[in-house]
Amino acid sequence: MNLDQTEQPARWSVSELIDFEVALDKWDADDSAGVDAFKSKIALAPDARTTNRSAIFLAWLKEQATPGCTATAGQQFERGVKAVLWLALFIGGLVGVGTTAGLLAHDSAQPINAALFLAGTVGLQIGMLLVALVAVVARAVGVDFSPLTSWMHALVRFSIGALNRLHGEQRAQARFVLAKTGQLSSRLAPFISLQVLQLTQAFVIAFNLGILGSMLLVYLPFVELRFGWQSTYSFGADGVFRALQAIALPWSWISDSLAPSLPQVLATQFVRGQGAFTLDANAAHAWWPFLLCAVVVYGLMPRLLIAALLQGMLRLRLRRIAFTHPAANKLWRRLQRPLFSSDSDGEPLPPGGPLADMGHAGAKKVLAIKSQTSSLSDEQVSALVQRSLGLAVLQTVSAYIDNDAFEPALVQGLQADTDVVVVTPGTENPIIAIADFLKKLSATNREVIVLLTGDPTAGLDERLKIWTRFVSIHHLRVGVARCQ
């Protein structure tokens, strides 16, 4: 099984994507034996340079599966989606049948107002589509009128207040959970949101099928329905006929009998209190083919088209997953070569450094955060990062790395869409406050690596081991390396 040369993206599903995120969260970067065994199985050479992360990550995910275990998180999500889908279809069909029954429930002596039936079945759906279209256009131009915005802001303020009342360790753990949840939601939301929209379309499709089924199988065979029209406005039969012709334009080429003619429109105008049997039967019956065609063309078909479009968008997004977020980059580098070696015995890192093959070829530019305890100049930091990691420093910012309240200079530096190298003396002791700083930094969805400086012959490898254990204990999504 050789995946090095394949360029065809793997076929991912949303459930597999969820399982991949869960597996990444549980993955131990120090599991060299497991990674090497996987690389051997898929014939991935240590120095391979394939760009097809998708296929390799999918193969890695399948390798993590445990035979005979309970359903994974992704499988449970998939089962939940299927259950909600069947529920949406059932309720949608039931609502469609109930809506039809409500619109056709009348005194047998009264005609059925065709305009009200059309508005209650098709008009409401068209109105909802127009509202959705306006919302999409408004969002595209930067207008935010979401009614949930103020409520969400209040919830966030309440959550922050509750978080600040926790003890130090609890607060740090809660912040980590919130940051991790935010990362997962930002990565999975584009896919799950499309599935949620598909469920809404399934409901409306079933709604239209319920209308059509109840009309064709119950009311038309067993009830004589006489349709007509009335209005307080002075439309006149000519105006109503022209409106019907415009509405029936998509199917008028099939047969003229699928819409009432002008004489039939004239014959079915009624006034309040007029009996249904005073209308011409043939003219009154001419309305139902028009109404059914309107439900099919303006109710059912747009929803089928939207559902197909959403499915196509979902498949396209799944095929275009980049897998370049920090956790995926960490696994990718580990599959290419170890991120760092705690037992290096002074051996230099492979050429190019641990981040050189991240994302794309060439000298990647990063933001260097220099600890206030470091005595290095900005020029020395740039040279050290270049020599040790093979990365070019775009900007150097000095900061207290034991304070998770980012200073303005650091906030401004993080506005650039670059990965981060934290440069700190190897003699600096890793404490909980530094863990909080690194957690907040990695929560910004960028790659973070801590570079320990000092004399490589003066116990720097031992400090590397200490920092490595520190990162593992606190589940930090950062890498650690030492200077060269």
Residues 216 and 100 in one domain: yes
- Domain range enclosing 388: 337-482
Distance of CA 94 to the CA centre of its chain: 30
Residues 180 and 283 in one domain: yes
Would you state the torsion angle of the CA atoms of residues 421, 426, 431, 436, taken in this order, to the nearest 10 degrees? 0
Asked whether 1 and 41 are in contact (CB, 8 A), the reply is: yes
Residues 282 and 395 in one domain: no
Which 3 state secondary structure label does DSSP give 110?
coil
Q: Which of 292, 319, 346 is the last residue of a domain?
A: 319
pLDDT at position 208 over 50 = yes
pLDDT at position 223 over 50 = yes
User: Is 3 inside a domain boundary?
Assistant: no
Would you state the torsion angle of the CA atoms of residues 330, 332, 333, 338, taken in this order, to the nearest 10 degrees? 90
> Which structure tokens are listed for 179?
């940051």
User: Is 40 inside a domain boundary?
Assistant: no
Q: Which residue has the higher pLDDT, 339 or 52?
A: 52
Q: Which residue has the higher pLDDT, 167 or 438?
A: 438
Neighbours of 76 (CB within 10 A): 14
pLDDT at position 268 over 70 = yes
User: Is 48 inside a domain boundary?
Assistant: no
User: Is 458 inside a domain boundary?
Assistant: yes
What is the radius of gyration, based on Cα positions, of the chain?
32
- DSSP letters, 162-214, are HHHTS-HHHHHHHHHHHHHHHHHHHHHHHHHHHHHHHHHHHHHHHHHHHHHHH
Residues 299 and 360 in one domain: no
Q: What kind and span of H or E run contains 365?
A: strand 365-371
Q: What is the pLDDT of residues 374-408, one digit of tens each?
A: 888 888 899 898 888 888 888 898 888 877 778 88
User: Is 217 inside a domain boundary?
Assistant: yes
CA distances from 274 to 21, 109, 235, 459, 481 (A): 67, 8, 19, 101, 89
Which 3 state secondary structure label does DSSP give 449?
strand
pTM above threshold 0.75: no
**Average pLDDT value for the chain:** 79
For residue 229, the cross-strand partners are 269
**What are the residue ranges of helices labelled H in 219-286?**
220-222, 236-247, 262-267, 281-285
Q: Which of 276, 292, 319 is the last residue of a domain?
A: 319
Q: Which of 319, 353, 376 is the last residue of a domain?
A: 319
Residues 188 and 246 in one domain: yes
Residues 300 and 155 in one domain: yes
Residues 291 and 356 in one domain: no
Structure confidence at residue 260 (pLDDT):
93
**Range 257-273 average pLDDT:** 88
Domain count, the chain: 2
* Beta strands 448-453; 227-228: pairing state: unpaired
**Range 39-64 average pLDDT:** 67
Residues 311 and 450 in one domain: no
* Beta strands 479-482; 392-399: pairing state: unpaired
Residues 292 and 404 in one domain: no
> Which structure tokens are listed for 74?
């992704």
User: Is 452 inside a domain boundary?
Assistant: yes
Residues 254 and 125 in one domain: yes
Structure confidence at residue 361 (pLDDT):
37
Residues 260 and 360 in one domain: no
Residues 293 and 384 in one domain: no
In CATH, what number is assigned to the domain containing residue 460? 3.40.50
Residue 455 CA to residue 463 CA, distance in Å, equals 11
Residue 439 CA to residue 444 CA, distance in Å, equals 9
User: Is 60 inside a domain boundary?
Assistant: no
Residue 292 CA to residue 119 CA, distance in Å, equals 13
Structure confidence at residue 93 (pLDDT):
96
